[in-house]
A and B are shown apart, each in its own frame.
Chain A
Amino acid sequence: MKLRRIIGTTLFYLLVAFIVVYTVFPFYWAIVSSLKEGSALYQIEFFPKDPKWGNYAAIFREQPFGRNILNSVIVAVTVVSISLVLSVTASYALARIEFRGRTPLLLLVLSVSMFPQVAVLSGMFELVSWLGIYDTLWSLTLSYMILTLPFTTWVLTTFMRELPKELEEAALVDGAKPLTIITRVFMPLLWPALATTGLLAFISAWNEFLFAITFTLSNERRTVPVAIALISGASRFELPWGRVMAASVIVTVPLVLLVLIFQRRIVSGLTAGAVKG
């Protein structure tokens, strides 16, 4: 009996170890590969004996990777800020005020967040060229709203619904206007929710690829995902894998850190976005 339990526990921890290796190894391998140069890259070596930083220097020297990072940051921050401002007021109305057509509106917002991006691609292309913003960051700021705005509205509505009714009633009795209720009563309570929602929206804007590769053309306008995808684009046979991995590590480390710091928050945001209703 005791032996069986020991075997069971061992198998269980082997499973756990396997899960950890499976999830972590690819990222670890990217780090290891990014530290190898020349022919060292082509040897399978699980611990780099002689780590070199040349690949990291090269991606900033040989291409505008710094500029690409800046582009991604500018676009993501702009889009997330606009989305949050627009959706805080909207979600207050959707969560706390009863009016005709509220349910269809919420359904509409939810449906838009499930849109396949490619379904708006040609219409968006026309809009972008008509506005004369093709190959500028504005084209991405405009098109990314379709990713972030329905998401932030939906998630903030779920959070807003959870807040106690009494707070609002007290403010109403004092004669507070709806906008005052949002800014003075709800906002202070909503900071954690806003941070979570903003972070998740930031990640989706940061990772976006389809619009970015379609609406920008020049190296200097590219965002990080496009830049990384196209490092290998030059020739199919001589891929600078060390550099690709270095670039990958640079853009992923901040995200991994953010995710680790905000672990619990992110889980609650994700479940609010998907499961809860």
Chain B
Amino acid sequence: MAVAPSSLPQPEVIGRPAVALAPSLLTRQRRRAALYFILPMMTVLTAVAGWPLARTIYFSFTNANLDNLGSQEWVGFANFVSLAQDPEWWRAVLNTVKFAAVSVSLETVLGLVIALTLNANLKGRGIVRTAVLIPWAVPTVVSAQMWNWMYNDLYGVVNAVFLKLGFIDHPYAWTASPGLALAAVIAVDVWKTTPFMTLLILAALQLLPQEIYEAAKLDGIPSPKVFYKVTLPLIRPALMVAIIFRSLDALRIFDLPYVLTGNSRQTASMAVYARQQLIDFQDVGYGSAASTFLFAVIAVFTIIYITAGRVRFDTGR
């Protein structure tokens, strides 16, 4: 697209620069239209996001109960104090952080490997790319159930294959043993989400200019060096955004641990814990405090995402 006047930095356009002209009739008409166009969307968003969020934050300062919503009393920071003293909550926080850190790291490495493979000139690339997309298309709950069956301690295919290959000497209860359950959840997430990572990295790889690689080839530079000195620095911005985006997703994980292992303390994430307090134990005040805490964590990450991603909003390029 050609460089247009609208690619000027936006704040100057809005903030009356020295040469500002009074907005023309057309501009004013268009601004009024913008208001009408945005209003319905914002109204719905306020109703389904803003309002419930405000209520959740309010509930977290009360002793609200699910049975009796409406008769709650203000209790100040009491819920947050008990939350801070609850070892099970900290267990959930730790689970979530471990889950996010390990799964996102593995997904990034695997995603890079697969994306580089797909980017190389190989026969049957279309088939491989299609195969890689399959886990992404499988609903999370379905993938949890599929793996649950594969993990089965008596009849699961994982035990059968690992026994045959000699990796293990007796069958394991993958989703039930304390040391393995979280790893089992992570393995499913890696399987399910690596395609997403792969696609984002592949998109970045395909934008790289081919000339650099031809030049490197002519100069006889070994390919690992090309990767570390050329490819990685060039795709780093896209990679960072993908990592933060995935981390946000991993921090709010709910369905995977819930379907794989129920409310088990070994794997419960912050979201699983919060929902259990809210719905199963009906303690809306306490559960809302946990949700509010999770929201604050995500909010911090979102701010990092928006700044690190240098998300641009003007009409130009």
Contacts and interface: CB of A to CB of B under 8 A. Distances in A.
A, B in one complex: yes
Interface of A: 12-13, 15-16, 19-20, 22-24, 26-27, 29-30, 33, 41-42, 44, 82, 86-87, 89-90, 92-100, 102-103, 105-107, 109-112, 114-127, 129, 142-143, 145-146, 149-150, 153, 161-162, 164-165, 172, 177-179, 203, 206-207, 209-210, 214, 224-226, 228-229, 232, 241, 244-245, 248, 251-252, 255-256, 258-260, 263, 266-267, 270-271, 274-275, 277
A271 B199 contact: yes
B272 to A, nearest CB: 9
Contact of A116 (B241, B271, B284): B271
A15 B118 CA distance: 11
Nearest to B1: A164
Interface string B38-58: 101110110111011111100
Contacts of A178: 29-30, 33-34, 37
Contact of A26 (B140, B191, B259, B271): B191
Interface string B20-35: 0000001001110111
7 contacts: A15-B113, A111-B306, A125-B279, A127-B55, A162-B1, A210-B255, A270-B200
B145 A232 contact: yes
Nearest to B135: A23
In the complex, the 5 A-B pairs of residues with the closest C-beta atoms, listed nearest first: A123-B52, A123-B55, A277-B311, A116-B252, A90-B41
B103 interface: no
B306 A93 contact: no
Interface residues of B, number: 113
Contacts of B33: 93, 97, 177-179
A94 B35 CA distance: 10
A97 B122 contact: no
Given A26-B146, A33-B149, A103-B10, A119 B56 contact: yes
A275 B200 contact: yes
Contact of A99 (B31, B136, B259): B31
B48 A143 contact: yes
B139 A206 contact: yes
Contact of B271 (A118, A226, A228): A118
A225 B51 contact: no
Contacts of A112: 45, 49
Nearest to A116: B252
B242 A121 contact: no
B174 interface: no
